[in-house]
């Protein structure tokens, strides 16, 4: 039996990971593609006049099972991949791209959608139904439904090529990250590192049957070394390794993948009638145009760059006063800024980590969700998981009704890509009389517990957990009918609002008191530490803002081109980011070759959305600050943003919440970089 074709009976219709094997994916995807094709054929050849019900609703649910199976596959390819899964991905991705193109270029199907669209003003559609019709019609047009003949075939070629290139890009980054190993035979090189980092390196050495200590390039290890290693040469070694991933002269070099992705995206956009990939992408964003994005980045840069230069000068002065010779280099900045933070605020990660045991932080975000939205969480050990690190929680609303399943996966391991993300295994929908509740997952790479110590988070990791949990709330609290409009299925520059706003509670004393407790004594984080955390919100914010803008400019430079990219990636990156660089470029260092957000994830022409959403989250949180961070009335209004998903336009949803358009002033005030 294939558990992805004949779904076993499980709690809450969860996926039975105990039975799912790599060999099940290809047959199940092909099966559900065939089933979906037959359903779409029935819609396309229906002799009845096209209606919202027999065309739009039927189409919306025609790929229901395929979406679940393919979603499961690609989630595992990110969180628990192996050679078998990666091999399947290389074959499966182009097949799925072609399948989706078949739908989008199905002329009979489009004609039926178009007919419903043309008579939309005569139909008595609800706002949600109208939204589905609008997004469906415009989605078909934007994906080539108006193309004819050879142009249609060319679009299919482009889509298949993009799918393959994106996969190859991600595989190369993962391989380069996981292939790195630094073997330290003694403790002399480890001066300054935390006991937890050293213990983790010792455990990794034992796993690999080596003496001493082995360090990888996973994010917790890398950041720990950059912040705390007393050896500049040691930090430089790791910095060079990290910043040259997939940029070396070997089989995992991503430069040709980048050129292929950029130029194929550009060609596809032009085929569809747009000047650039950015223009095509931003057509369905709050920002609307590349000009708006670039103006937004430029306005922030005018304030952030002087603040960033001031931050760097302060770090340089402090480092010189404490024995550093010469300029502060890129691999020195985190180390000396952390020391400055400790001296200035009497605050550092080693001081705070004992108060942020991961179990307490998770309980804290659960309690904050209860106070705001009435949610409750119940761990379920019976539901199958894809790895022993994963936990599952049943989530209930304030009425005690089942809301969602939440999977949590917190620790790095082989076969898991770096970073942190939220994803879905099943979207919320309502089909006839059956309401289908979502299954969502948050995936992170935090420091693993050891034999002697639990997992203790840095403050940055605490905010990361809150960030991803904000996305999860967006998915779990979804209310609606059509899966393509529920949960996080919103415009890309709006999707970060629910995640980023939740980070604000990490800086609030009343919230911190709920979960910031010493893992050994149970002592609540002292008030003076909380005051310093609040003060730290502005520490090096100019530098961090300019760094984000640097990535935003680089993304737009690649995707707002109106001619093919021909120069070397290193030269292009240097030119695109010259006005946001604070350090001299390091020979061989290229951030583009591991810029997975835009070349593997969904952030192409969208990286600006992090700062865009910061404007929204700072402005929205101002209302909580005014009324109280657990104010039920404000939380109820924000819950509308979380629950409505993409059923309404984001600017309308935000205006309903705030009773006005967003203002940038709150962000500038919070960051301490106001003019």
Provide the annotated active-site residues.
Answer: 468
Nearby residues of 160 by Cβ (< 8 Å), 6 or more positions away: 94, 97, 98
275: tokens are 């000047």
Token pair 């007919």: residue: 115
How far apart, in whole angstroms, are the C-alpha atoms of residue 24 and residue 431? 27
10 neighbors 384 (Cβ within 8 angstroms): yes
183 neighbors 210 (Cβ within 8 angstroms): yes
How far apart, in whole angstroms, are the C-alpha atoms of residue 630 and residue 621? 11
One DSSP character per residue, 569-627 reads: HHHHHHHHTGGG--SPPPTT--SGGG-HHHHTSS-TTTTTHHHHHHHHHHHHHHHHHHH
Token pair 């009845």: residue: 48
* Closest by Cα among 661, 667, 592, 666 to 244: 592
Q: Is 184 helix (H, G, I), strand (E, B) or coil?
A: strand
How far apart, in whole angstroms, are the C-alpha atoms of residue 209 and residue 541? 43
Q: Is 182 helix (H, G, I), strand (E, B) or coil?
A: strand
Length of the chain: 675
Is 83 exposed, middle or buried (CB count within 10 Å of its CB: 0-12, 13-18, 19+)?
A: exposed
109: tokens are 């199907």
332: tokens are 């020195």
Neighbours of 94 (CB within 10 A): 18
What dihedral angle (degrees, nearest 10) is formed by the CA atoms of 289, 291, 296, 299? -170
Is 6 exposed, middle or buried (CB count within 10 Å of its CB: 0-12, 13-18, 19+)?
A: exposed
575: tokens are 């030119």
Measured on CA atoms in the order 216, 220, 226, 227, is the torsion positive or negative?
negative
Residue 376 — φ and ψ, nearest 5°? -135, 155
Nearby residues of 632 by Cβ (< 8 Å), 6 or more positions away: none
Residue 659 — φ and ψ, nearest 5°? 60, 20
Distance of CA 455 to the CA centre of its chain: 22
Neighbours of 638 (CB within 10 A): 23
Token pair 């929908």: residue: 429
Residue 310 — φ and ψ, nearest 5°? -65, -40
How far apart, in whole angstroms, are the C-alpha atoms of residue 628 and residue 634? 8
């Amino acid at each position: 039996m294939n558990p992805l074709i004949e779904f076993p009976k499980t709690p809450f219709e969860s996926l039975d990971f105990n039975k799912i094997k790599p060999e099940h994916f290809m047959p199940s995807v092909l099966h559900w593609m065939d089933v979906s094709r037959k359903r779409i054929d029935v819609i396309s050849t229906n002799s009845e006049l096209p209606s919202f019900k027999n065309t739009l609703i039927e189409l919306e649910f025609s790929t229901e099972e395929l979406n679940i199976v393919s979603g499961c596959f690609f989630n595992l390819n990110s969180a628990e991949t192996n050679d078998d899964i990666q091999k399947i991905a290389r074959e499966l991705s182009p097949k799925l791209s072609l399948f989706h193109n078949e739908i989008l270029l199905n002329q009979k199907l489009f004609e039926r959608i178009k007919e419903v669209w043309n008579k939309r003003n005569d139909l008595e559609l609800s706002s949600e139904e109208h939204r589905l019709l609008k997004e469906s019609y415009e989605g078909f047009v934007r994906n080539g439904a108006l193309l004819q003949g050879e142009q249609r075939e060319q679009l299919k070629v482009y889509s298949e090529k993009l799918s393959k290139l994106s996969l190859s890009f991600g595989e190369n980054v993962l391989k380069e990250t996981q292939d790195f190993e630094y073997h330290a035979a003694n403790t002399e090189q480890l001066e300054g590192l935390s006991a937890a980092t050293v213990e983790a390196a010792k455990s990794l050495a034992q796993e690999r049957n080596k003496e001493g200590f082995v360090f990888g390039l996973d994010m917790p290890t890398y950041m720990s070394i950059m912040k705390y290693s007393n050896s500049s040469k040691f930090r430089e070694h790791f910095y060079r390794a990290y910043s040259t991933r997939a940029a070396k002269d070997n089989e995992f070099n991503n430069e040709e993948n980048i050129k292929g992705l950029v130029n194929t995206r550009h060609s596809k956009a032009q085929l569809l009638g747009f000047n650039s990939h950015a223009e095509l992408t931003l057509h369905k964003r709050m920002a609307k145009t590349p000009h708006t994005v670039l103006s937004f980045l430029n306005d922030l840069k005018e304030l952030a760059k002087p603040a960033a230069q001031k931050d760097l000068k302060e770090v340089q002065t402090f480092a010189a006063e404490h024995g550093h010779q010469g300029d502060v280099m890129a691999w020195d900045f985190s180390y000396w800024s952390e020391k400055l933070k400790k001296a200035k605020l009497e605050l550092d990660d080693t001081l705070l980590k004992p108060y942020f045991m991961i179990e307490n932080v998770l309980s804290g975000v659960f309690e904050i969700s209860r106070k705001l939205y009435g949610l409750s969480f119940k761990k379920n050990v019976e539901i199958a998981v894809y790895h022993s690190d994963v936990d599952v929680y049943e989530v209930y609303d304030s009425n005690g009704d089942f809301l969602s399943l939440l999977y949590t996966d917190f620790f790095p391991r082989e076969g898991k890509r770096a970073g942190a993300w939220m994803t879905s295994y099943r979207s919320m929908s309502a089909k006839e009389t059956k309401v289908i509740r979502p299954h969502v997952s948050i995936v992170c790479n935090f420091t693993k517990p050891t034999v002697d110590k639990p997992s203790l988070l840095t403050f940055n990791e605490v905010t990361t957990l809150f960030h991803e949990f904000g996305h999860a709330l967006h998915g779990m609290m979804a209310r609606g009918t059509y899966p393509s409009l529920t949960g996080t299925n919103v415009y890309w520059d709006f999707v970060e609002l629910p995640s980023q706003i939740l980070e604000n509670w990490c800086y609030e004393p009343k919230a911190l008191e709920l979960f910031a407790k010493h893992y050994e004594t149970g002592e609540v984080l002292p008030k003076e530490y909380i005051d310093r955390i609040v003060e730290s919100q502005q520490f090096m914010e100019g530098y961090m803002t300019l760094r984000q803008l640097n990535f935003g400019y680089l993304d737009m430079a690649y995707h707002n081109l109106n001619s093919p990219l021909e120069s070397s990636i290193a030269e292009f990156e240097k030119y695109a980011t010259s006005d946001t660089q604070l350090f001299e470029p390091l020979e061989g260092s290229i951030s583009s070759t591991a810029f997975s957000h835009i070349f593997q994830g969904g952030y192409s022409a969208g990286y600006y959305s992090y700062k865009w959403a910061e404007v929204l989250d700072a402005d929205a949180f101002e209302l909580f600050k005014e009324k109280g961070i657990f104010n039920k009335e404000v939380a109820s209004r924000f819950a509308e943003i979380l629950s409505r998903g993409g059923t309404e336009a984001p600017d309308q949803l935000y205006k309903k919440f705030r009773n006005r358009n967003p203002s940038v002033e709150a962000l500038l005030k919070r960051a301490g970089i106001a003019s």
